[in-house]
Amino acid sequence: MSKIIAIANQKGGVGKTTTAVNLGACLSTLGRKVLIVDIDAQGNTTSGIGINKADVEYCIYDILINEIHPKKAIVDTGLPNLKLIPATIQLAGAEIELVPTISREVRLKKALAMVRNEFDYILIDCPPSLGILTINSLTASDSVIIPIQCEYYALEGLSQLLNTIRLVQKHLNTSLQIEGVLLTMFDARTNLGIQVIEEVKKYFQQKVYQTVIPRNVRLSEAPSHGQSIITYDPKSKGAEVYLELAKEVITYEQAAR
């Protein structure tokens, strides 16, 4: 059984891409077959995983707009069990180009249905908006991981995200669930971080992952080397916590069966 998980929050800079790349890499290290789908025109996941965007032949744009077979766009990464559907700046136009098209919300769902059996996990790295690309992602997914940065105003904007999730559940994907809420960029030296954790736990209760991702310089350095934390610095705190998160994700799935 494969599982499709969107990593979504319309706020930028909360750790969506870092989580997509490193959770994906860690799940693959634990022996799972993983596909990461980059659906953000910035293509940070694509470059962060070591793919040169200039060399990309087909990207997620071709899947959504030109309806090519998704297999054509899947590329290898440095890790054997980890594949990627890349995004390039071409995707920037998709938001507008999709507006007049038929079944525009279900394009990604239809495409991933053609390949999902080949993977244990498909992680979709969403853009920082609640537009048609995020709607496609939520429609295509079994569940959603919401990364929340341990910062002031952490919960701001979350009601919009939850509202979008509810609308998708109502109209497009009745089985969509919240997989988990992930606290990111925690700084143990400040009281603020602890307050944010308490606030988020009050709100989301048992949906909050026990694993909290701390600020870790190695995590922010890895993308510029085109590597996940697992290959860039496997002994770092960043690698340790994302491995912990991967185990948590697997445990919840096994418990749900």
Which residues form the interface with ligand ADP (CB under 6 A)?
A: 12-18, 44, 128, 184-185, 213, 215-216, 219-220, 223
Could you tell me which stretch among 14-22, 53-61, 87-95, 231-239 binds Mg ion (CB under 5 A)? 14-22
Q: How far is the CB of 220 from ligand ADP (least distance, A)?
A: 4
Identify the H or E element spanning 200.
Answer: helix 191-204
Which tokens is 255 given? 């418990």
Q: Which of 3, 9, 11, 16 binds Mg ion (CB under 5 A)?
A: 16
**Position 17 contacts Mg ion (CB under 5 A):** yes
Give rounded-to-5 percent helix, strand, coil for the chain: 50, 15, 35
- DSSP 8-state secondary structure symbol assigned to residue 1: -
Backbone angles phi, psi at 117, to 5 degrees: -65, -15
Q: Which is nearer to ligand ADP, 16 or 83 (CB)?
A: 16
List the strands of the sheet with 82-85, edge to edge. Answer: 75-76, 82-85, 34-38, 121-125, 3-7, 143-149, 177-184
Q: How far is the CB of 40 from ligand ADP (least distance, A)?
A: 7
124/87 Cα distance (integer angstroms): 11
Selection from Mg ion, ligand ADP, none that 34 binds (CB < 5 to 8 A by kind) is: none
Q: What does 57-111 look like in DSSP terms, one character per residue?
A: SS-HHHHHTS---GGGG-EE-SSTTEEEE---GGGGGHHHHTTTSTTGGGHHHHH
Distance, CA of 128 to chain centre:
11
Q: Give how many residues touch Mg ion by CB under 5 A.
A: 3
**Position 18 contacts Mg ion (CB under 5 A):** no
Q: Which is nearer to ligand ADP, 14 or 168 (CB)?
A: 14
Backbone angles phi, psi at 232, to 5 degrees: -70, -50
Q: Which is nearer to ligand ADP, 27 or 115 (CB)?
A: 27
Q: Which is nearer to ligand ADP, 124 or 219 (CB)?
A: 219
- Per-residue x/- marks for Mg ion, 28-47, CB under 5 A? ----------------x---
Q: How far is the CB of 48 from Mg ion (least distance, A)?
A: 9
Site for Mg ion in 44-103 (CB under 5 A): 44
The residues that touch Mg ion, with contacts defined as CB under 5 A, are: 16-17, 44
